[in-house]
Amino acid sequence: MISMDRPSYKVLWNIRPQDQAIRGGKDLTLSHKLEEFLRTQNEDPSEWAYAYLLTSPCMNDHNNNNNPLAFWYLYSSDKELTALILQLDTSYGERRLWFVRNSLQRQAKGSSYCFQGKFVKDLQVSPFMPLGSDTSYIVDTSDPCASTDGRVSILITLKKGNKTLMTASVKPHSPSLDIPTASTWSSLVFLWKWWWVPMATVVTCRILGQAAKIYLTQRKKIKVQTREEPIKTVTAKPARTVEMTLERYFSKILQAAVENQSHVDQVKYITPGEHSPRVRVLRSNYAVSIPEALSQSTNLSGSSKICSEITFQVISPAFYLRFFHYSSPSAAMDSELLDDERTRMVWCSNPEQFASMISVHSVHIPPGSADWRWRFISCLRCRPLATNYEHRTKFQPFGGLSTSDYWVLQNCTAAEQKEYRRALLRVYLGETIGSIPFGSLTDNLELFGLSRDAVLRIQEAYLKTFVALLGIEIARQAATGSSAKIMLASLSLTGLNIWACIKMIF
């Protein structure tokens, strides 16, 4: 009926490790992922001998049910509930995990809640709820392992300062089923009642519908909050193939910039990895060749070396798409790193020093830059997609190839250049052609939690439906024998199919 850790098509429901805790990691077990997350919080996993996970399973190994909330109950060796991990997944594809210990001093008389934890709300979940340092969640919960039937009661309170903005509760409304000890009849009854729920529950559509209802009926009474880019403690949405491809070339450019400068000893580069942030340490050739003692004496004598290490973290993989729109890496950093914090998709411990360091020097124009394929890329290049908050640094259009393009031409193989060009082609075509006709509408739908990717998928579904209906009409017109109508309909169908292919590429 249900499986854990090792998903199987032979069961109805699966609890997959890649859907829980830190992103990805399908080869890890749930316990391994829990231990890994606890270490990122500077906690000792051996402090907790038991864990109880309250989450929503996926249907037959297909993640068709967006699970917005999950709870990890952590127990000591004495089976005492001492800590809680709250996992929140947004409809934007982002994930946030909070770790908190029990702050409830004494259980109130007559109350089932034995645990209380407070989490700072630092992630945009709803456009109708504020975001700030004084906004927090307070979670009160009972102990699910203390009751004989596994019942649990959870109360979530959203507060702004001392003011309560909203409360939500999670409570069971029917008896639970203990699968190992359940009889065949009780299992069949449970399946009869619940087999359709994961398939029929599309959380994103329900959220979108309720958000639209609130916005249309209450927009004069409520203030819609503009969505900021997530902070570095948030797990970014999964990277698309084109973002993974462009990340490789960004890392090559970054490595070359670090190796050929003497202002910083090393850069700790953190990317949104599969199941944990991948950390790469890039060292300057100057730091490698000069002994440490000599380096310190040079610093004391007034050298231009400023710091020994800079940490640079990419929060969202969408940064890699934006980076290659600019004329140079330094121009990209001016807009993406040194601009308004609400528009940033990266974080750096020393932004000004990093922005000045990443400039690529001594790039000459290779003969291959006159190739028509590179000129086509140059013609398609446009400004990056607008963020919800406007950048203070305006995008400067330019002609020809960018400094990054020239660097790839100069330092990469022919196969790598082809891969790089194809990635840029997918990005630029998707942004120029793929946003028709919903280009301006996409930003408005972000208010309801529907990301641009989701809008494009919906648009693609409508497009395929329209093509199918047009095909039926073509067949009907062909039966009349009108050659002009057949030719016009065929050209229309060809154009729509090309458009569909372009959007599928993106």
In three state form, how does the secondary structure of 383-412 look?
Answer: CCCCCCCCCCCCCCCCCCCCHHHHHHHHHC
For 196-248, the pLDDT digits (tens) are 666 555 555 666 677 777 777 776 777 777 677 777 788 878 888 888 899 99
Closest among 229, 442, 455 to 322, alpha carbons compared:
229
**Same domain, residue pair 304 and 385:** yes
Peptide bond connecting 437 to the previous residue in cis, omega within 30 degrees of 0: yes
Mean pLDDT of the chain: 77
214 lies in the same domain as 252: no
In a domain, 425, yes or no: no
Strands of 58-59's sheet in order across: 2-4, 13-15, 58-59
**Domain assignment present for 344:** yes
Hey, what amino acid is at 452?
R
Pair 404, 467 in one domain: no
**Domain count of the chain?**
3
Q: What is the mean pLDDT of residues 472-477?
A: 68
One domain, residues 185 and 44: yes
Mark which of 420, 438, 466 sits at the end of a domain.
Answer: 420
State how far the Cα of 366 lies from the Cα of 318, in Å rounded to an integer. Answer: 29
Reported as a single tens digit per residue, the pLDDT across 67-126 is: 788 999 999 999 899 999 999 888 777 888 999 998 887 777 667 788 999 988 888 777
**Do 152 and 274 fall into the same domain?**
no
Do both 309 and 356 map to the same domain? yes
Does one domain contain both 9 and 60?
yes
pTM recorded for the entire structure: 0.74
Residue 16: domain span: 2-218
Residue 167 and residue 41 share a domain: yes
What separation in angstroms does the CA of 18 have from each of 276, 349, 400? 11, 30, 43
Angle, helices 372-380 vs 403-411, to 10°: value is 150
Residue 234 covered by a domain: no
Segment 157-208, tens digit of pLDDT: 988 888 888 888 888 877 777 777 778 888 888 878 777 666 555 555 666 6
Has residue 321 been placed in a domain? yes
Task: Answer yes or no: do 204 and 278 share one domain.
Answer: no
Q: In sequence order, what are the residues at sequence separation of 6 or more whose Cβ sits closer than 8 angstroms to the Cβ of residue 165? A: 129, 130, 158, 159
Evaluate whether residue 226 is within a structural domain: no
393 with 492, same domain: the answer is: no
* 257 & 355 share domain: yes
In terms of pLDDT, which residue wins out, 461 or 447?
461
| Strand ranges for 438-502 from DSSP E | none
> What percent of the chain shows pLDDT beyond 70?
69
Q: Is 429 inside any structural domain?
A: no
224, part of any domain: no
The answer to whether residues 395 and 290 belong to one domain is yes
Helix orientation angle between 483-505 and 414-432, rounded to the nearest 10 degrees? 120
Pairing of strands 58-59, 50-54: unpaired
Cα separation, 334 vs 328, whole angstroms: 10
Residue-wise pLDDT for 414-455, tens only, equals 899 989 998 888 888 777 665 554 444 444 444 444 455 555
Dist CA 337 CA 355 (whole Å): 8
**Does residue 432 lie within any of the structural domains?**
no
